[in-house]
Structure 1
Amino acid sequence: METSYQGGVARENAAENFERLSQTIASNIKKISQNVSSMSKMVNQLQTPQDSQELRNQLRQIQNYTQKLVKDTSSLLMDLMKMPADQPANKLSRERLSDEYMATLNAFQANQRTAAQKTKEDVRKVKAQSVTISDPFAVGGAKPLVDTANVDVRKQEQLTMQTEQELEDLEQRERDIRQLEENILDVNQIFKDLGQMIHDQGAVVESIEASVEIASYNVENAALELQQAATYRSKLRKKKVYIAIFVILIVCVILFLIFHR
């Protein structure tokens, strides 16, 4: 009685954990989708009159936050895939969450690719237009934009500050490119891990179905063998009855002959 109760509690806790984890994943997917929508609007504003450093900073922040949320959600979804889904509703819920997450992840990665491509184009344009801007990571800094021999000191300082700002912006954009490329690789790995997990789950289901078919086949064979055994026993019983009757008849005949004499 106690064992049955404990088993019931365990099943109830498992169901609660499954439901709680599913709700968390669904909430995260919704947040990621909302962030991707916001990121898409920002990316569309790049290379337009609305483009600004503030816009790029906001885009970077939301990308980094969403990337972390994606990693956390991937871990949760893998935990959910490992949990037993005894009820058909749980299985359908798990498949639905997996499909929604993969679609959201695909949209997020496409957004990152577009942002990286536009940022690379910006960097190429800046390097092509500003012949005085050297490699931002090279030693020695930048060359002056103009010949400073015929300009006053204040203008020279302004030009120097402008050059430094351009270099700083260029460095930041190249850092953004590297970060976006790393994020894209991380998302690719997540796709592979989830794909392998889904494949393994499918293999397990196929194995279970095959085991059920084998068990059903064995049950049918066992039933047939029992039926045959019952038939054999019935025939054997009839033979015994016939033999007994035959023996009784012989004994009766022998007794009749003895008493008749």
Structure 2
Amino acid sequence: MSFNDLEQGRGVPDSPAARQEASQTFASRGETPEFMQLTDRVGLHIFRINANVATLQKLDKRLQDAHELGQNKTDELMKQFVDLCEQTRGIVKDSTDDIKSLNAYSFHSYGGVRRSSPSLLLQSKLQRDFQDAIAAFQVIQKSGIRKEKVALAYAKQQGNDASGMDFQIQEQSTPSQQLIQTQIHAPKISQEELEFQESLIAEREAEIREIEQGVQELNEIFRDLSHMVQEQGGMIDNIEYNIGNLATNLLA
């Protein structure tokens, strides 16, 4: 990672190899091993969250055409979406302590040695990129909730249609032997359909509650992160200003 990379905002390593290179760079500048390990972990958290968000976006796009996929395929994709949301929320929760530790890292000095400006910029950018990753995750979760509600409305409509069909068959029954048999067997089929639709509706409602609860939990984390970033914003802006002036003077 070069000085120009940090200046241009490319401070977060995007791969294990890049993170290792960054660690070596900061080690050569006298950064502590604890700081290097911490930034490496946070960078990995961000990478995993963004990778999951990219997969969720692909699933969300496929679910836009749910009416053409059929019930079974839609259910399969929706389950993948919900499971991946749960996994991603787990990553966010597990990484919160590392983010707080990164925030608590001294901006001024450690062990009597003043920390370098590139290290401070990376520290701030990791926090902001983590915040951006959560924001992107929140957006795709809310999109998933909308898809779930559409699927829920469709399932309820299917249940109403099945119930209405059963009612019509009973109303049209006559004493003839053939229609009496139809009247006897039709409610059984209709009841199975109704039970299936009811279980599907219950599943959809549970998934919606799960995602909505996850959104609320991450909103609290997001607010905490926003507060941390705002607290450090003035100091980081001043560092970036000084680095910008230095780069301008070197090019002059």
Specify if TM > 0.5: yes
1: CA distance, partners of 2:151 / 2:190? 21
Aligned residues: 187
Q: Who wins on radius of gyration, i.e. which is larger?
A: 1
Deviation readout 1:86-132 (Å, 9 max, x if unpaired) = 22222111122122212211111110111101211222233345326
2: CA distance, partners of 1:79 / 1:184? 24
2: CA distance, partners of 1:27 / 1:198? 20
Task: Please list, as runs of the form range in 1=range in 2, the aligned pairs for 1:170-185 lying within 5 A after superposition.
Answer: 170-185=201-216
Q: 2:140 aligns with which of 96, 108, 111?
A: 111
Is 2:38–2:98's contact at 8 Å kept on the other side of the alignment? yes
TM-score, length-normalised on structure 1? 0.63
TM-score, length-normalised on structure 2? 0.65
Cα pair distance change 1:185/1:157, threshold 3 Å: same
Deviation readout 1:58-110 (Å, 9 max, x if unpaired) = 11111100011112222211111101242222211112212221221111111
Equivalent position of 1:122 in the other structure: 151
Equivalent position of 2:10 in the other structure: none
Q: 1:16 aligns with which of 18, 33, 37?
A: 33
Q: What stretches of structure 1 of length at least 5 have no aligned partner?
A: 1-11, 134-142, 210-261
Deviation readout 1:120-159 (Å, 9 max, x if unpaired) = 12222333453268xxxxxxxxx68504654265554333
Amino acid at match of 1:49: E
2: CA distance, partners of 1:14 / 1:82? 16
Task: Please list, as runs of the form range in 1=range in 2, the aligned pairs for 1:7-86 lying within 5 A after superposition.
Answer: 15-46=32-63, 47-50=66-69, 51-85=73-107, 86=115
Task: Please list, as runs of the form range in 1=range in 2, the aligned pairs for 1:1-261 lying within 5 A after superposition.
Answer: 15-46=32-63, 47-50=66-69, 51-85=73-107, 86-131=115-160, 145-147=165-167, 149=170, 150=180, 151=182, 155-202=186-233, 205=235
- Which of structure 1's runs of 4+ aligned residues deviate more than 6 A? none
Q: Which moves more between the two structures, 82-91 or 58-67?
A: 82-91
1: CA distance, partners of 2:165 / 2:97? 51
2: CA distance, partners of 1:67 / 1:145? 43
Equivalent position of 1:138 in the other structure: none
Amino acid at match of 1:96: K
Q: Percent identity?
A: 21
